[in-house]
Structure 1
């Protein structure tokens, strides 16, 4: 049994980026790593067995799922529902049971997907920060009024989101000591530009009061880490930069 809200909050945004993915269930927990068709975003989902109320898996099971269809079912989950995963061996289906005031069941046909090794690139980030998700959401809304891309900057004194175009500019700054910037570590100032549409989908994983861990290097992919189930799981996104023209 698991937390239906956790899965709902993760699968919905991920399905905006990736249509199909293979989930690997082992006695230690479940993991999924996939890249979007444009190879702009890499998603890495991990949840340990301790992140479930009860967990009973023998051996290794790889389950291919259509995330768009899965997200539709999770959209029907209520916040207080318990979630039960079970597998119908003969029919090759995943059963999702939402147990609350009522008991509702959905079945999802499993699909054949090859489990691909997608090693995460070795990136030399020079700065990191822990930021409230609500602050980033506000910055993205501001930037989207101007253009479809936004620049992230981490400097010794603050975290900065900026954008500009022929129609104007927008800026959101979080100085050290502000409530929205919980931690800032800068070995070397870093800046890079990213697509707002992708960031919007990614940030929807978190509620406004959740903390997002940002890792940044100049013109490197952006790494965003979300803690799950009180630290018993993690959702990581790597987003390729939009290289700025000189």
Structure 2
């Protein structure tokens, strides 16, 4: 068999399904000897995901040629959701027609998903030199966004060396939340220069909801009127998912 990727549990697969489905309906995953990769952008070109899942993360991984696996994310997600927490999951392919999904824990279940033609052009990961970085508990960050979301649709973020402010202005009113380095749940606030930019709350809250409880801590980077980057781990052996969000165009 040309390509096989097996994990002991469905946790990582479920995370990937949740995250990728926030921006695309028909993703193209690339599999090679090094592992599985995905790069995709939403139709409005506002959000992008860069995913790398190295071969060392799997219980079993074999790939003797490069595969481009394009599918309807909803169809694969339905099968992954059928897996119990103690099920192993094996994803395999021999050609460009079907993806084979096996769920095992004593009882063996096997499914096939028809692969489709890719409609997306290859995406390049942006090369960004971002000035501000925050390492924060995912729950603290999500609570902060929800606080701002109570009055606004967009969030303005301001950072200096000592603190970070999250500001929202809307018809309902205004919100301002300030976090310092010493606050619980904040591991790092660093900034080469004072930074300020505005982003869509809808996109940020969607990706945090997709992450769920998988990541306890996330790394955030941004600069003045530059894309916002969220990074979190995928598995325990060097895997990662990076989420990029373009700033609001009329940010002042």
TM-score (norm 2): 0.89
Q: 1:76 to 1:149 in 2, by over 3 A?
A: farther
CA distance in 2, matches of 1:79, 1:38: 35
Alignment partner, residue 67 of structure 1: 73
* Secondary structure at the counterpart of residue 220 of structure 1: coil
Q: Residues 164 and 206 (structure 1 numbering): CA distance in 2 closer, same or farther, change over 3 Å? A: same
Q: What residue is the counterpart of 1:83 in the other structure?
A: 89
Q: What residue number does 2:154 align with? A: 149
Runs of 4+ in 1 over 6 A off after TM superposition: none
Counterpart Cα distance in 1 of 2:58 and 2:160: 39
2:165 counterpart residue number: 160
Task: Quote the residue 1:187 is aligned against.
Answer: 192
* 1:128-151 per-position Cα deviation (integer Å, ceiling 9, x unaligned): 111111012111221221121112
Question: What residue in structure 1 maps to residue 61 of structure 2?
Answer: 55
Unaligned runs of 5+ in 2: 1-5
In structure 1, list runs of 5 or more residues that go unmatched: none
* Equivalent pair of 2:215/2:232 in contact (CA under 8 Å): no
Q: Given the superposition, is the C-alpha separation of residues 100 and 125 from structure 1 closer, same or farther in structure 2, using an over 3 Å criterion?
A: same
Length, aligned pairs only: 245
Q: Which SS does the other structure have where 2:167 is aligned?
A: strand
Alpha-carbon displacement from aligned partner over 1:155-201 (angstroms, at most 9, x marks no partner): 21123222021311223332102231112221112121111111112
Q: CA RMSD in A?
A: 2.0
Instruction: Give the Cα separation in 2 of the matches to 1:152 and 1:106.
Output: 45
* Shift of residue 87, structure 1, vs aligned partner: 1.9
Q: 1:188 to 1:71 in 2, by over 3 A?
A: same
Q: What CA distance in whole angstroms lies between the structure 1 residues aligned with 2:12 and 2:215?
A: 15
The secondary structure found in structure 2 opposite 1:113 is coil
TM-superposed deviation, 1:208: 7.5
User: What residue in structure 2 maps to residue 215 of structure 1?
Assistant: 221
Matching of residue 174 in structure 1 with residue 179 in structure 2 = yes
**Using a 3 Å threshold, how does the CA distance of structure 1 residues 127 and 237 change in structure 2: closer, same or farther?**
same
Q: TM-score if structure 1 supplies the norm length?
A: 0.91
Cα–Cα, structure 1 residues 214 and 71, in superposed 2: closer, same or farther, change >3 Å?
Answer: same
Q: Any idea what the Cα deviations from partners look like across 1:199-238, whole Å, max 9, x if unmatched?
A: 1121121427611111110111101111111242110111
Residue 236, structure 1, aligned to residue 242, structure 2: yes
* Conserved 8 A contact 2:152-2:171: no
Q: Which residue of 1 aligns with 2:20?
A: 14
SS in 1 for 2:101: strand
In structure 1, the residue corresponding to 2:60 is in which secondary structure?
A: coil
Q: Is 1:24 the equivalent of 2:36? A: no
Offset, 1:51? 0.8
| Structure 2 CA distance for aligned equivalents of residues 207 and 221 of structure 1 | 25
Task: Verify the 8 A CA contact 2:27 2:72 in the aligned structure 1.
Answer: yes
Q: Secondary structure of the residue that 2:49 maps to in structure 1?
A: strand
